[in-house]
Structure 1
Amino acid sequence: MKTFLSTRLRAFQSAWLKALLSKPLKLITLIAPLLTAGAASAATQIQFWTMQLSPFHDDYVNGVIAEFERQNPDIRVKWVDVPWKEMEKKMLASVAAGTAPDVVNLNPQFSAKLAQYGALANPEHYLSEGEVAQYLPNIWTANRFRGETFAIPWYLSTAITIYNRELLQAAGAEVPRDYRGLLVAARRIKSELGKYAYFPAMDGSRPLEGLVAMGGELVAGDGSRVGFDNAIGSAYFNFYRDLYQQELVPRNVLTEGHHKAVELFQSGEVALITTGMQFLETIRINAPDLFRKVSVAPQLKADSSAYNVAVMNLAVPKRSAHKEAAFRFAHFVTNNENQMALARRIPLLPSTAGGYADGGYRDDQAERLGSEPSLFQRARQISAQQVLQGQVLVTPLPNYSKLRTSFVFNLQSAMVGRAPVDEALAETAQTWQLFLGNDHD
């Protein structure tokens, strides 16, 4: 019986094999979907988080992902857009839970906070020297914490001075180039018009950036010592005290931020504002009468200091199971072609050196024709020049949130007269020295 069954089984297998071999097209038709499904399931899946790019930039982001997947059929990208205010909380929770994305869009200070705990992979371990060299060196070095690079720079912005020509002319004031000139203009505008030259917003990293723009430094040496417990730090605290005590700025500078500065500038109560060139389009739409009165100039700074540049990064968490694929994708998103495509959509600047090599930020045609560049062109020219000559003034710091809180609290104490400048400065330096030596935020 056993022999009979074995014989019948071999006969059946032989007939089945002959049938398949006699119809090869049918065999391919049957097997091809199985092979395709197997290849799809074998593709590496990575997750990409951005900050508030949807829905206005869906076409751009989806287009970049589609082209990357076409060039890299072994990788699939899942895009998740996160609201700006929720990113830090969601990112910290995902890192703690071991569910962090493979590629995430972060700013340098928050990136540095994660790097402080060893949570981010070093792109220099995955990108070639040639690939690293594609980025502006002054921007690439901004993403270093204690000698380790923690992210790839993506798009950039830099503040310019947007000013109301009518107010300055009416007061007989000049456009200030530095903080000393700003104090002169503020006194002139207040005495002649009863208005304000400036609203020194104290949210974000602006108060810290201002000290470096004045020619000071936040940390000294290897980064373990306070750098502003000196004459420049004292001059900076005195500058803010004078603005407030002489009523050269609105009282609500202590409680309001950049949004209030924008509001007062648009209402004609403030003569100048330092913000990104993208704000010009907001003025053009919301306040067309004001738009006809505005001009642009470089940001305020001392001759010895660099222009400030803000950077948005792409980082890869160290726990990602697909770091090779993640960095391949991050480099693709930030290559010159894709960055320039983004810069043509919105008034931002690329972090790649090639973006400034083709004359795209110079108004050569206007110069040849002897005509003046438009306000938008002029803003782009100034912004590009500042990026090439600038740097991130507030470099990654350990315990950044505590350092910033201490600085602003003591600066405001000096402004309102709650503490003398020397005492407020000394208190700030003492607190900073404590936290600079403590790695736990």
Structure 2
Amino acid sequence: MGKKILLMLSSIVLLTVLVACSEEGDGKNEIVFNTMELSPTFDDYINGMIEDFEAENPDITVKWEDVPAAQIEEKTLTEASSGDMSDVVNLNPRFTKKLADVGALLDMDEAASEFKNLYPEGLWNSGKVDGVSYAVPWYFTTGGVIYNTEILEQAGFSEPPATIEEAWEMSEVIYEETGAIAGGYTTTAWQDLWVLFPTYGIDLVTEDGTQAAFNTDKALELLKDRKEYYDKGLIPDDLLLDNSLAKEWYADEKAAWWVSGPQLFRQIKDLNPEVYEKSKAAPFFVGDANNVYSAIQNLVVSEQSDNPEAAVKFVEFITNKENQLEFSKLVPILPTNSEAAEDEYFLSGENSEDPEEKGLYYSATNIDKAVDMAPPIGNANEINTILNEQYVEVLINDKDPQQALDDAEEQVNNLLAE
């Protein structure tokens, strides 16, 4: 009798184990993947990509959770604090750095060492904190220039500017001759002091991330120049405070050029087909550092992941040439994978007269210049806000440029000392 009871108990234990294994996905490694507002628009693409990955890796299942952009930071921080962060998360570089700063992310320099060379250094460094990169770049957008050939000709120019300095010099002439605004900008936004400084090789913080580094003679010179341009009417308040109007200004021929992602150039055709027909594309303006501002989206892996190898393998799959190319054709983005950027889809625009096609060519061939301008520290967002606020104070409220730099330096140093 005792043997029968023991046998029954053994059978129950075995059944319990089997049920538990079944509940865990038949022994598969499950990873959770968070994106920002890609559903339902890209359901087919994301689900298809997951199906392909799972077919290649039958021991791994991927659970996709799409999160509103306004909630993903709070959600990820809350989960990281409770030890339950999703395995793979789509984040921007500044929030990536904040999470890396508190030890929540996997070191991707080490984990992705076998495929990190597929991404240009400037893009790879978008996840860097204290000399270590904690992200794989997924996709990015960078500026190109669409310009009105007639306005430039009226001002006596046959070619667009190549550098920021040339752009401002031409802007003054264009404004005087035609009344159109132009400008020499380093990003698609007009409040761009935190981008302007790195474009000229001015670090925002010291290498160890403990102090502000931007209060220099060159920074003062740049700020004085910007104030001079503003006083001459070359930086209108409307565009300074609301960059979304720039597209309409260009379509209405109130602006000689528009700095934006080339994939958005066709919006001008929708607003004013005649202006689009007289437009051409040009590469992004560069400064002394010969780099190009880029808005980058990263993929990070949780340090708490139970399946880090599976998560890294999925990140590699998401960012391979084929998947990045497919995504780039669905949405106005650029691939971070160098092999994808060399595809005929982008390079075919080299001799095109269409602004969007030519702009895509310029953007793809400039991938090695693309960088994230935010400082490689956890509170990069706050530093950007401080600099932008001081910039507007100088332009609109006539604050002394040196005082603005001093005040910004003090605020940033206080922030870094917390």
TM-score by length of 2: 0.86
Provide runs of 4+ in structure 1 moved above 6 Å. 33-36, 199-202
The answer to whether the 8 A contact 1:142-1:395 is kept is: no
The answer to whether the 8 A contact 1:214-1:236 is kept is: no
Q: What's the CA shift for 1:180?
A: 2.5
Aligned to 2:8: none
Work out the CA distance in 2 between the residues paired with 1:165 and 1:350: 30
Work out the CA distance in 2 between the residues paired with 1:75 and 1:159: 38
The answer to whether the 8 A contact 1:154-1:312 is kept is: yes
The one-letter code matched in structure 2 to 1:249 is I
The one-letter code matched in structure 1 to 2:148 is N
Q: Does 1:284 align with 2:264?
A: no
Aligned to 2:360: 380
Work out the CA distance in 1 between the residues paired with 2:45 and 2:195: 32
Aligned to 2:128: 144
Tell me the percent identity: 28
Q: Secondary structure at the match of 2:262?
A: coil
Work out the CA distance in 2 between the residues paired with 1:372 and 1:301: 23
Aligned to 2:14: none
Gaps of 5+ in 2: 5-17
Q: Deviations over 1:393-437 (max 9, x none)?
A: 334233223212221121122112442111112222232233334
Work out the CA distance in 2 between the residues paired with 1:192 and 1:154: 44
Q: Secondary structure at the match of 1:133?
A: helix
Give the length in aligned residue pairs: 402
User: Does 150-159 or 243-252 show the bigger shift?
Assistant: 243-252
Work out the CA distance in 2 between the residues paired with 1:245 and 1:187: 12
Q: Does 1:407 align with 2:387?
A: yes
- Greater Rg by CA: 1
Work out the CA distance in 1 between the residues paired with 2:35 and 2:192: 24
In the TM superposition, what are the counterparts of 1:189-204 in structure 2 within 5 Å? 189-198=174-183
In the TM superposition, what are the counterparts of 1:25-40 in structure 2 within 5 Å? 40=25
Distance 1:338 1:426, change over 3 A: same
The one-letter code matched in structure 1 to 2:193 is P
Work out the CA distance in 2 between the residues paired with 1:387 and 1:312: 15
Q: Secondary structure at the match of 1:209?
A: helix
The answer to whether the 8 A contact 2:109-2:133 is kept is: yes
The answer to whether the 8 A contact 1:212-1:305 is kept is: no
Q: Deviations over 1:37-57 (max 9, x none)?
A: 578443232221112222222
The answer to whether the 8 A contact 2:374-2:384 is kept is: no
The one-letter code matched in structure 2 to 1:302 is G
Aligned to 2:412: 432
The answer to whether the 8 A contact 2:199-2:291 is kept is: yes
Q: What's the CA shift for 1:322?
A: 2.6
Q: Secondary structure at the match of 1:261?
A: helix
The one-letter code matched in structure 1 to 2:118 is Q
Work out the CA distance in 2 between the residues paired with 1:199 and 1:183: 5
Work out the CA distance in 1 between the residues paired with 2:376 and 2:96: 8
Aligned to 1:214: 200
The answer to whether the 8 A contact 1:195-1:269 is kept is: yes
Q: CA RMSD in A?
A: 3.0
The one-letter code matched in structure 2 to 1:156 is F
Aligned to 1:22: none
Gaps of 5+ in 1: 7-32
Distance 1:53 1:406, change over 3 A: same
